[in-house]
A = this chain, B = another copy of it.
Amino acid sequence: MRIAVDVMGGDHGCHVVIDGVRKAFESGLKISEAFLVGDQTMISEALTSLRFDDPRVRTVHASEVLTMEDKPVEGLRRKRDCSILKAVNLIKDGRADALISPGNTGGLVAAATIRLRKLEGIDRVGIATVIPAPENEFVLLDSGANVESRPLHLLHYAVMGSVYSREVLGYKKPRVGILSNGTEENKGTELTLEAHKLCKLVDINFVGNVEGHDLFANRVDVVICDGFVGNIVLKTVESFAKGLVSWLQEELLQNPVRMFGAYLARNALRTIKRRMDPDAYGGAPVLGLNGNVMKAHGSARERAIMNAIRVTTDAVQNKINQVIQTEIECANERLAEAKLDIPFTTAA
């Protein structure tokens, strides 16, 4: 497998991202070529200082970077030579099979959507984030690609999330729920109520509405919502977990007795910390694209980048986009048969 890595957009600089690629090589992932896209000088400095010298590495120079402050579409128009666009082009030109970027989310989604196009029959792409819960892991989709959605978009998220959970995470019959303010069928906004009707028509294991209380109680494997709600939920959970861990550490360091107690119980704390670790997945795929694109966390460090690459190779090997394409076609046919009054959309 050939991967393209946008090494420039992360919070910690290209050195950390490149070290993540090195770790991915070391971990034995089947990578035949890795394109490092970014400033040539900085990349070669990083390669030298890391003593990372592997014939599979190629450098692709990009003179500009789309920063977190840039507005996506406007930024892409202004910075024609930015690393995100150049990395996307490697996929478009058939030189790479998958792309990993820790850069500007909106920029990545926009560049990929414009250059690679969406899969046929899909109107909006969605970011699928895997969130660990005590007894399962659920996919939250859309966690931030599009702020506002229509019912058909949520339906497509449901189908795509279901495929991802099954093919990549290994859930046989993933339970799909629409995130709402209550589990009753009549609870929700106009958007979720309409999406609810659509989800009942297609071939997924739809469990109806789920509410916040269900997320960490092993009642749902794929959680569907618009990107505004999904982004808020994702960041709230991250913030809460982080706040709690640092608070716990502070409390445990208050006196020697507590410290000794924490030492004895360290494996319990470690197990939880390991399972809750956002770096375990390292990134979230942008689903619905005609190409494999993985958004790594902006603050991703070496291990997170390595894991993002690993998860991407899993997705590519499982031909995730082909499966999505087939199942979206089926779903769209079901909706057409039901003769609902929905404006149908194929890739423009």
Chain B residues contacting A172 (CB-CB under 8 Å) are: none
Q: How many residues of A contact B (CB 8 A)?
A: 60
- A227 to nearest B CB, angstroms? 7
Decide if A248 touches B232 in the complex (CB within 8 Å). Answer: no
CB closest chain-B residue, reference A212: B235
Contact yes or no, A232 B229, CB < 8 A? yes
With A133-B243, A212-B235, A260-B264 given, can you name 11 additional A-B contacts, CB distance below 8 Å?
A134-B244, A212-B238, A214-B239, A228-B229, A232-B233, A240-B241, A251-B267, A258-B268, A261-B263, A261-B265, A262-B268
Complexed CA–CA distance, A215 and B263 (Å): 30
Stretch of A21-29, A38-46, A76-84, A181-189 contacting B (4+ beta carbons < 8 Å): A181-189
Q: Which secondary structure dominates chain A's binding surface?
A: helix
Tell whether, in the assembled complex, residue A272 and residue B247 are in contact, meaning their CB atoms are under 8 Å apart: yes
Q: Is A246 an interface residue (CB 8 A)?
A: yes
A150 at interface, CB cutoff 8 A: no
On chain B, the residues within 8 Å of A263 by CB distance are 261
- Name A116-141 residues within 8 Å CB distance of B: 133-134
- CB-nearest residue of chain B relative to A232? B212
Task: Report the minimum CB–CB distance from A175 to chain B (whole Å).
Answer: 16
> What mask results when residues 145 to 189 of chain A are scored 1 for a CB within 8 Å of chain B, else 0?
001100000000000000000000000000000011110001111
A103-B8 Cα distance, complex, nearest whole Å: 54
Cβ–Cβ contact A228 & B181, under 8 A: yes
* CB of A236 closer than 8 Å to a CB of B: yes
Q: Does A201 contact B (CB under 8 A)?
A: no
A226 to B78 Cα, complex, angstroms = 36
| A219→B251 CA distance, assembly (Å) | 21
Q: Is A231 an interface residue (CB 8 A)?
A: yes
Give the distance in Å from the alpha carbon of A71 to the alpha carbon of B184 in the complex.
Answer: 10
Cβ of A339 within 8 Å of any chain B Cβ, yes or no, is no
**Closest B residue, CB atoms, query A235:** B212
> Closest B-chain residue to A249, C-beta based?
B268
Nearest chain B residue, comparing its CB with the CB of A251: B268
Find the B residue at minimum CB distance from A226.
B189
The answer to whether A49 has its CB under 8 Å from any CB of chain B is: no
Which of B216, B231, B268 sits near A239, CB closer than 8 Å?
Answer: B216
